[in-house]
């Protein structure tokens, strides 16, 4: 049997695809043949143009994923716009930094609600569509902090650890219905969100010294893993958290 990474005819919903990792994933899925619905708070103009250049369809579904209110409508809108839904990529997320003693309830709730609660209920809505058709792929974006504690990011570490556990829990329940659920845990990726770390000479050196491959990752490094997990090539992979970190966790 030929191994296929072809996504021709598939329909994907990608959250937080304006820039960085989400954008790279959305474009890579389109290059593999999928049509894409993009969900976020602001217009993903650049991502729309990049997908149009692949010859695939892309639609802009504006949604604030800080709460679960738009979740069911978002899935329904994606199904209506694309004619169905085969792939969900839960990429949208936020981070707040502060010392443990000074961390506020507001910052805790904002991060956990966006990164974990909304992710679950969006997956729940998408899973209903996928289970009914007997197939589908849910890909969650976890983090190295799904495995480690980090520093000054307690709500983010808690939420991303929760994403890892939730990925496994959903995989167990949805596998018999033909739906695979996996997660990607990015390492240090060169994006706008990490620009300050890259510009800090000392911190940048410390990070690179820890990474066996000796470089920051690119959003495209994550996109390749997403195409694999969205494709028929991964049909026997579920409940897995794939670290794409240049060897950081192996060090």
Q: Catalytic site residues? A: 156
The three-state DSSP-derived secondary structure of the chain is: CCCCCCCCCCEEEEECCCCHHHHHHHHHHHHCCCEEEEEECCCCHHHHHHHHCCCCCEEEEECCCCCCCCHHHHHHHHHHHHCCCCEEEECCCCCCCCCHHHCCHHHHHHHHHHHHHHHHHHHHHHHHHHHHHCCEEEEEECCHHHCCCCCCCHHHHHHHHHHHHHHHHHHHHHHHHCEEEEEEEECCECCHHHHHHHHCHHHHHHHHHHCCCCCCECHHHHHHHHHHHHCHHHCCCCCCEEEECCCHHHC
């Amino acid at each position: 049997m030929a191994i296929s990474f072809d996504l021709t005819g598939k329909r994907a919903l990608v959250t937080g695809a304006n820039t960085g990792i989400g954008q790279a994933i959305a474009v890579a899925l389109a290059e593999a043949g999928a049509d894409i619905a993009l969900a976020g708070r602001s217009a993903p103009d650049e991502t729309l143009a990049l997908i149009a250049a692949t010859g695939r369809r892309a639609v802009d579904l504006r949604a604030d994923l800080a709460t679960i209110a738009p979740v069911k409508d978002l899935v329904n809108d994606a199904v209506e716009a694309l004619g169905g839904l085969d792939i969900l990529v839960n990429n949208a997320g936020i981070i707040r930094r502060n010392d443990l003693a000074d961390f506020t309830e507001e910052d805790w709730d904002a991060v956990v609600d966006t990164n974990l609660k909304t992710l679950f209920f969006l997956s729940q809505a998408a899973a209903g569509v996928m289970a009914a058709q007997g197939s589908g792929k849910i890909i969650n974006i976890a983090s190295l902090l799904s495995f480690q504690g980090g520093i000054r990011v307690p709500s983010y570490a808690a939420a991303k650890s929760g994403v890892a556990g939730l990925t496994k829990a959903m995989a167990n329940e949805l596998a018999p219905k033909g739906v695979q659920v996996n997660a990607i845990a990015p390492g240090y990726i060169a994006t706008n969100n990490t620009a300050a770390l890259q510009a800090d000479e000392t911190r940048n050196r410390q990070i690179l010294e820890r990474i066996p491959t000796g470089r920051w990752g690119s959003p495209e490094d994550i996109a390749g893993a997403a195409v694999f997990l969205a494709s028929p090539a991964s049909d026997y992979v579920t409940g897995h958290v794939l670290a794409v970190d240049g060897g950081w966790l192996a060090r």
